[in-house]
Amino acid sequence: MASDTSRQLASTPRNRAENPRFAQTESARGYRGRFAPSPTGPLHFGSIIAAVGSYLQARRCRGEWLVRIDDLDGPRTEPGAANAILAELERLGLYWDGDVCYQSTRTERYRDGLERLREAGWTFPCGCSRKDFDGVYPGTCRDGLVPGRRARTRRMRVCGISVELDDAVQGRCNQRLPESVGDFVIRRADGIFAYHLAVVVDDAEFGITDIVRGADLLDSTPRQIHLQRCLGLPTPGYAHLPVAVNAVGQKLSKQTYAEPVTGNPAVPLVIDALEFLGQQPERALNDASLDELWSWAIAHWRMERVPRLRAIHWPPGQAVPHGSPISAKLTD
Ligand SMILES: [Zn+2]
């Protein structure tokens, strides 16, 4: 495992040398964060938030910031999207450390992880399909496949498991897995390893110490912590940023026709992201260069200023009166 990590990270970082900011932060204290977009389309404002938040927290902590392309779900991956995302990050001055990791190249590692869970008795084959039950999986195949059925998926046992998490933005969260999610799929019927398994294996192998991402993933975090524990892996720190939602409360995404930010001038876009994250950028920054803006942002970044909300309307003033307290909290 260690040799694999060093192989992937030892090479000269693609753009570290040309990144003047990295020179100021050479004394990494072991913090390692990441941004892990799915290449399902171009970056929109919602994904910029996660990129900016994770980047600033890493730089503020004089740590490293890695980029991973979560392209495990081949059918959802859009050709060319990964390269477009990386080009957009560079255009915005979001320079990463090390080589970009592509999940699609790492299925052997996920297979190893699944095998370890299977050997420890944590998984079972399941012959059910989605139409066999509503909501939480009722445990039909937990003690063996129903006669006449063949295994379709592999599920992870959650019996009696309750997970508590101290999130740097959302506070203390608690989830009882049996009632909330049930035994969950870790290898799908099409053979693709589930997102939860892949991210847990990757984050551990790449030494990620802190995960800063959108609050839409908060509910899946207890499943990932459960997997970390069963695999004997460390649990990183978590900070779930509010997600940007449109006027009707839908998360900005390709599916909700959020506009790509490609082509938007970089400085105002980063300023918008800083404002969204509660960092109160100074007016004078509107005339700053991108480098000056990032220097200000790194020096002034405070995670505790990020609104402790799951969601915020974007653009502002659409559904909430401009200047009023941000009030688009989704249900817990
Ligand atoms: Zn089943």
Which ranges in the chain are annotated with CATH 3.40.50.620?
Answer: 2-107+195-313
Q: What's the topology of domain 2-107+195-313?
A: Rossmann fold (3.40.50)
Active-site position among 131, 251, 254, 329:
254
**Helices 266-276 and 290-300, interaxial angle, to 10°?**
20
pLDDT in tens, 28-66: 459 999 999 999 998 989 899 999 999 999 999 999 999
Task: State pTM to two decimals.
Answer: 0.85
Q: How far is the CA of 117 from the centre of ligand 1 (A)?
A: 18
- Spacing, Cα 123 to ligand 1 middle (Å): 12
Calculate the CA 128 to chain-centre distance.
29
For residue 320, the number of C-alpha atoms closer than 13 Å in the C-beta half-sphere is 16
Q: How far, in Å, from the CA of 101 to the mean position of ligand 1?
A: 33
Cα(152) to ligand 1 centroid in Å equals 8
Structure tokens at 36: 């892990």
Distance 200 CA to ligand 1 centre (A): 24
Phi-psi region of 207 (alpha: psi -120 to 50; beta: other; left: phi over 0): left
> Furthest-apart CA pair in the chain: how many Å?
70
User: Does residue 326 contact residue 307 with C-beta atoms inside 8 Å?
Assistant: yes
How many C-beta atoms surround the C-beta of residue 120 within 10 A? 11
Q: Quick count: other Cβ atoms within 10 Å of Cβ 47?
A: 26
Respond yes or no: is residue 254 known to be catalytic.
yes
CB 39 within 8 A of CB 78: yes
Q: What is the mean pLDDT of the chain?
A: 87
Q: In this structure, are strands 171-176 and 162-167 parallel, antiparallel, or unpaired?
A: antiparallel
Strand order in the sheet with 101-102: 32-35, 64-69, 101-102
Kind and range of the H or E run holding 229: helix 221-230
- pLDDT tens, the chain, 332 aa long: 333 333 332 333 334 434 444 333 434 459 999 999 999 998 989 899 999 999 999 999 999 999 999 999 888 899 999 999 999 999 999 999 999 999 999 999 999 999 999 999 999 999 999 899 999 999 999 999 999 999 999 999 999 999 999 999 999 999 999 999 999 999 999 999 999 999 999 999 999 999 999 999 999 999 999 999 999 999 999 999 999 998 777 887 766 666 777 888 999 999 999 999 999 999 999 999 999 999 999 999 999 999 999 999 888 765 443 333 333 333 23
H/E segment holding residue 184: strand 184-187
Other Cβ atoms closer than 10 A to 149 = 15
Q: To which H or E segment does residue 175 belong?
A: strand 171-176
User: How far apart are the CA of 286 and the centre of ligand 1, in A?
Assistant: 56
